[in-house]
Amino acid sequence: MPDAIAVIPQPADVERTGDEPFVLTEATTVVVDGRPDLIGIAVLAADLLGRVGGRAVEVRYAENSLSSASGVVRLRLVDSLPPGDEAYRVTSRSGRIDLEARTPAGLVRAIVTLRQLIESGPGGVMQVPAVRIQDAPRYQWRGLSVDVARHFVPVRDLKVVIGLMAHYKLNVLHLHLTDDQGWRLHVRSRPLLTRLSSSTSVGGDPGGFYTAEDYADLVAYGAVRGVRIVPEIDVPGHVNAATHAYGELNPTGEPTDEYTGIEVGFSRLHATLPATGPFLADVFSDVAAMTPGEYVHIGGDEVLTMEADEYATLVAAASAAVRAAGKKVVGWQEIAHTPLEPGTVVQYWDTRVDPAPFVAAAQAGALLLMSPGSKAYLDMTYDASTELGLEWAGHIELRDAYDWEPSTLVEGVPAESVIGVEAAVWTETLRDLPALTQMLLPRLAAIAEVAWSAPEQRDWDDFRARVARQAPFWDRLGLSWYASPQVDWTR
């Protein structure tokens, strides 16, 4: 048995207890209290254990007769943990595993840790080493932004991405749903957006969109796995798909042509047009009503042909629509140049610009979400020979994605103003799931550890050894991934 505990992200506290391992057998049973909010989590645990062990695992409600039974994986909510919704404890020994947390979200994190602990023992049996792990995340926002506008990503493929996110304890899937190339979410108030502007992608590739039912399915699928959806409707730029569907959003009154290129900054809304205000109010109201989570993203990036006052007016209008629908506002870093309500999340992506607006925004009560293009944009090439991806932010090898510190990224921004970390993957060159996972893996695991684990817990050499042991898992799932030369991979 390898000595290292190959869990990613690195837990806060790990102790081997010296007991015999827990062995998965036909008698292994998941036991849970009969609460509706816990039953789905128990089914998830049983499914994961069953897939690894090659046999069905039964779920039972807690009974006194089961409290001392052998082969039990017991899920339980407890108060004896540090504060935090996602704090959890895993205790494994011969015959029993206890998964404990303050909340259902914490139990999901415990299950993921258990899944990563399972290893092949003598005779090929699947077992869990005897350990005690107590853990909680550093940041409450640990995300991945997926661009489904440049190339559409079907629901089935997004579910694979959600599964990977959950495996590494990421908890926010930010969907970039609209751009010049396509509008990907049906909204009740503006049906032409998907009827006329969803069929295209970059290079003339096929498009697509999510129905309200598709979106609800994704929200529910993510929720069981501890991943919430943050939808992005990008305004007041990146709007050619909108102006193609609704000509009244143009000064001429005529729809714009479809766009399948990759240039940015040429499209825009107009604050003075009568159609613009109702469009923003209706669309953001619709999207907010479809989204159980507390955040809606208004975009705000790369508006290159608009005066500052008009930009501020449109950002304020979009933000007001989101707040009127009972949600909190997220926007790309450019919104920091406008007046913001306290609690607004500013997503920092371009490290080449003056930090002063972000310092001022933080001082005024905004929160910073760290997505530096040079570290966390996972569509950037690994090196000069990478066939997929872009390289405007440079090459990002695995260690580049791992070796950075969110709290000191923007000089002058207090550490307490940083709400979290989010990777992003843009799909100009990514046409399918193999291309997507090739760029995500292994770097998504690195970003996940940056977001979850405290700086003193992170060590490149240790991570390098742990991530090497993730390769068989990716292979079993049939996923494409990049064999970074910085790692001695286990195959």
Give pLDDT tens digits for 144-174.
Answer: 999 999 999 999 999 999 999 999 999 999 9
**Please, which residues have CB within 8 angstroms of residue 65's CB and are 6 or more apart in sequence?**
none
Res 65 pLDDT > 80: no
Per the annotation, the verdict on 341 as an active-site residue is no
Position 62 scores a pLDDT of 83
pLDDT > 80? residue 11: yes
**Average confidence (pLDDT) over 40-65:** 88
One-letter amino acid of 11: P
The domains of the chain are located at 13-135, 141-476
Of 68-72, 240-244, 303-307, least confident by mean pLDDT is 68-72
If 0-12 CB within 10 Å is exposed, 13-18 middle and 19+ buried, where does residue 395 land?
middle
How much is the pTM?
A: 0.97
Res. 471: pLDDT tops 60: yes
Alpha-carbon torsion (99, 103, 109, 112), positive or negative: positive
The per-residue pLDDT for 68 is 60
**Contact between residue 183 and residue 198 where contact means Cβ atoms under 8 Å apart:** yes
Distance (Å) of CA 485 to CA 9, 398, 474, 482: 21, 9, 17, 9
CA atoms within 13 A on the CB side of 207: 29
Q: Which helix (H) or strand (E) holds 368?
A: strand 367-370
Residue 152 CA to chain centroid, in angstroms?
Answer: 17
**Of 302, 310, 341, 391, catalytic:** 302
CATH number for the 141-476 domain, one of 2.30.30.280, 3.30.1330.30, 3.20.20.80, 3.20.20.140? 3.20.20.80
What is the band of 66 on the pLDDT scale with cuts at 50, 70, 90? Answer: low
CA-only gyration radius of the chain, Å: 23
What type of residue is 207? G
Angle at 232 between CA 231 and CA 237, to 5 degrees: 165
Residue 127 has pLDDT above 80, yes or no: yes
Fold of 13-135: Chitobiase; domain 2 (3.30.379)
Q: Say if residue 82's pLDDT is above 90.
A: no
13-135 and 141-476 in the same fold: no
* Side-chain-facing half-sphere of 271: CA atoms under 13 Å: 13
Q: What's the DSSP call for residue 268?
A: B
pLDDT reading at 263 higher than 50: yes
The per-residue pLDDT for 490 is 81
For residue 316, CA distances in Å to 273, 324, 325, 339, 367 come to: 16, 12, 14, 8, 17
Q: Is the peptide bond before 9 cis (omega within 30 degrees of 0)?
A: yes
Distance (Å) of CA 262 to CA 10, 111, 362, 390: 38, 41, 32, 11
Query: pLDDT at position 88, please?
Result: 98
Task: Please name the residues in contact with 491: beta carbons below 8 A apart, sequence gap of 6 or more.
Answer: 471, 472, 475
C-alpha to C-alpha distances, 85 to 13, 28, 88, 102, 449, nearest whole angstrom = 17, 28, 9, 6, 18
Residue closest to 192 by CA, chosen among 248, 251, 265: 248
Q: Which helix (H) or strand (E) holds 464?
A: helix 460-468
**Rounded mean pLDDT of 422-436?**
98
- pLDDT at residue 1 in the model: 34
Residues contacting residue 454 through CB under 8 Å, at least 6 positions apart: 12, 138
